[in-house]
Structures are given as structure tokens and as C-alpha cells.
Copies of this chain bind each other. A is one copy, B any other.
Amino acid sequence: MSGTDTTKSTGGTSAGRTGTDQPRRGRADKAAAILHAACVVFGRDGYSRAAVDTIATEASTSTRTIYNYFPGGKEELFRSVMEWSSARVRDEQLARLRRYLDPQRPPHPRDLERDLLALARAWSDLMADFRDHFLLVRHILVEAGHLPADTVQAWQEAGPRAVRREFASALAALSDHGLIDAHGDLDQVATHFMALISPNAVQHSYWGVTPLPAEEIDRLIASGVRAFLRAYGGAAT
């Protein structure tokens, strides 16, 4: 899984534009390699267990270089990884949301289940595609009590909250067209949708530590979407 993009000598001098603001060559590449390695190791071992040396080895670099890039040490590295990984995943999550549930073009009533199922599958696939990230999120939640409050606040505002907010507004569009019946506030609907489709990897397999077979995941997702539609399907369905 890892080590694919950790080739430090990344080809030619692609990022070698000197003189502006980047002091050296592939500085960004190196930083990304460190962040990716930190994501893997923090996600696997947790904050306390993870050793900076292990991260350095995983990133195919040296401990000293990590401290050169992140003078704040382990703590700043963890915060940087939170920010970096969450932004990446959030963007991809929002992209998949817009692909399958565009508020500008609500689906036909007949296609609602198909689209919701596609969205649920896309989000589920996301958890596999960014497995390292979600393994890390586990530890963010657990370490929340040991992190600065504003850091955690900022993370969840820029990460999961942003997704849920946009999802709720997409649901609002569905509600306006009678495709779903919110039965109250839309935040609830969004939460319940996620609750019904997410137990796949969460409840059943320790946050994805032991992956489930694809067909089993598919069965659980389909079951969740059907239950969601029975609970919130609108008059037009």
C-alpha cells in the first residue's frame, strides 16, 4: 500500500523553478512524502505509539529532515497531517457528492434510489481509497481531548462539517422537489443517511482495520439506502 510514491528522487527537476519563493527543488514533494508517511504511521499506531523515526523510515528520509520541515516537532507534524489529509479527502468527498446529487439538477423520482445508492457506494469506496486517512481520523477523535480545542474545532469545521453541510443543502433541494420528506430539520436527515450507510466499515470491522468483502459491503449499503428511503422517501416517490 505505502511506499508507492515515496520515491524521493522523483524523476527530473520538475519542480525546479528556483528564484521565486521555493528555496529548493522538490520541497513540496518531500513535504508531501513526509505527510503521507506520517498519515500512514499515525493512522496505524496512534499519536503516542508512533515514533518519529518510524515515520522517517516510512518516508524514506531521515529524522533530522522531518525536524527541518516541521520545526514544531511531532505535535506540529500531527496537526499538519490532520489539515493536509482532511482537505484532500473533503475535496474528493464533495466532488463525489456533486457528481451523484447535483442540487441544480435533481433526479427523476424513479432514479432517486439509484442516485443515492451510487452516492453511498462512492462514499464507501472513498473510505477504501483513502484508507490511511480514515484510519487517522479514528485517532483524531480519540486524541481530541489531548489536542488544543481550537485545532479540533478548525479540523471538524473544515472537514466533516463542511461535507455534512453541503450534503444537507443537497437534501434541501430534494426536499423542495418532493423527493424526500425531511420530517423535521435537514441536518437530521443527513446524519441519519450517513448513520445508515456507514456502519459498513465502522461497526463491523473496527473502523476498517479488517476490511470486509466487497459484496458484503454492497449488501449493507443497499440495505441502508432502502431503509433511508422508507424513512424519508417523499410523496413523489
Find out whether the CB atom of B142 lies under 8 angstroms from the CB atom of A46.
yes
Find out whether the CB atom of B206 lies under 8 angstroms from the CB atom of A145.
yes
A199 interfacial contact with B, CB 8 Å:
yes
Number of copies: 2
Find out whether the CB atom of B206 lies under 8 angstroms from the CB atom of A49.
no
Binds B, one of A65-73, A97-105, A107-115, A220-228: A220-228
Chain A residues numbered 181-237 whose CB sits less than 8 Å from any CB in chain B: 183-184, 188, 191-192, 194-196, 198-199, 203, 206-207, 209, 220, 223-224, 226-228, 230-232
Find out whether the CB atom of B203 lies under 8 angstroms from the CB atom of A44.
no
Closest to A198 in B: B195
Q: Which residues of B contact A228 (CB under 8 A)?
A: 231
Q: Which residues of B contact A146 (CB under 8 A)?
A: 45, 49
Q: Which residues of B contact A131 (CB under 8 A)?
A: none
Chain A residues close to B by CB (< 8 Å): 44-46, 48-49, 138-139, 141-146, 152, 183-184, 188, 191-192, 194-196, 198-199, 203, 206-207, 209, 220, 223-224, 226-228, 230-232
